[in-house]
Amino acid sequence: MDKFEGRLTRDGIRIHNPSDFAGMHKAGALAARILDDIAGMVEPGQTTEAIDAEIERMVNDAGAKSATIGYKGYQHASCISVNHVVCHGIPGPKTLKNGDILNIDVTVIVDGWFGDTSRMYVAGSLSRKAERLVQVTHDALFKGIEAVKPGNTFGDIGHAIQAYVEAHRMSVVRDFCGHGLGQVFHAPPNVLHYGRPGTGPTLEEGMFFTIEPMVNLGRPETKVLADDWTAVTRDKSLSAQFEHSIGVTADGFDIFTLSPGGKFHPTWA
Ligand code: MF3
Ligand code: CO
Ligand code: CO
């Protein structure tokens, strides 16, 4: 038996086997490839339900499973969160209009492993204020990822994200967080996108989790609409989010959901 097998930390965080990284890379690569391939469909006049239907088809064509269909009653292969929707937007018949920004979040299961990633898109042209929000949110995710190495804490990740976002006079959503994952969708720990250095569980090689900061141009408060899923900013300000699934290595991090086409950001390729 491998030294990592089956171990949970005292915080209930699973320490995975070195061979488990391959399973996560396969699942993560599929989720990321789907987000690459859907980019061409994001245009003014398109509906979010048509985008979701195409994502569901791509998941099935790959012989994979959607982790979100049937999850707590959710019915779709993606969450599509437009403009002031913070997360968990439900695909529907509304058409995108020029300048809308949207997050598309896909989670797939491949050979039992979960790949969870989301990124921002724009329908048509990006306004200056939306571009600034998207850039700061993207860079905040990477500030968090750069804090991932054994011996650092989850508070170090949250602090790096919060400090960066607030330095740009934007706000970090507190009501939703990243999560452990692996052979399950959501596991300990809660990965907060704010916090204090040196607090929270200590990172160890073999931990797998997401970092998925949501950033608002206005206030951080959110509310969930009557559909029980759609989270919006209370002040109706624009919101953005990027998400990667990552693993802790001996000396840093391994990103499972890198874009194969280098299209993680809406202004790239
Ligand atoms: N993929 C989302 C996350 O990042 C979870 C979506 S759950 C759903 O954790 F049911 F809303 F799809
Ligand atoms: Co997630
Ligand atoms: Co997600």
pLDDT band at 5 (very low <50, low <70, confident <90, very high): low
Q: Reply yes or no: is the peptide bond before residue 189 cis, omega within 30 of 0.
A: yes
d(CA 191, ligand 2 centre) in Å: 10
Outline where DSSP puts E strands in the chain. 65-66, 78-82, 85-87, 101-110, 113-122, 171-172, 178-180, 187-191, 208-211, 214-216, 222-224, 231-233, 239-241, 244-248, 253-255
d(CA 243, ligand 2 centre) in Å: 7
Instruction: Indicate if ligand 1 lies below 6 Å from the C-beta of 239.
Output: no
Spatial CA neighbour of 23 closest among 108, 111, 106, 107? 111
Neighbours of 98 (CB within 10 A): 12
Q: Please report the atom of ligand 1 found closest to the CA of residue 116.
A: 1
Question: And the tokens for 219?
Answer: 């206030």
Q: Which of 35, 65, 71, 81 best tests ligand 1's pocket when mutated (most atoms within 8 Å of CB)?
A: 71
Q: How far apart are CA 116 and CA 244, in angstroms?
A: 7
Among all bound ligands, the one having the nearest atom to the CA of 77 is 1
pLDDT at 2 over 60: no
Question: And the tokens for 213?
Answer: 């900061």
Instruction: Indicate if ligand 1 lies below 6 Å from the C-beta of 116.
Output: yes
pLDDT digits (tens, 9 = 90+) for 150-204: 999 999 999 999 999 999 999 999 999 999 999 999 999 999 999 999 999 999 9
pLDDT digits (tens, 9 = 90+) for 218-255: 999 999 999 999 999 999 999 999 999 999 999 999 99
d(CA 63, ligand 1 centre) in Å: 20
Neighbours of 42 (CB within 10 A): 21
Q: How far apart are CA 153 and CA 206, in angstroms?
A: 14
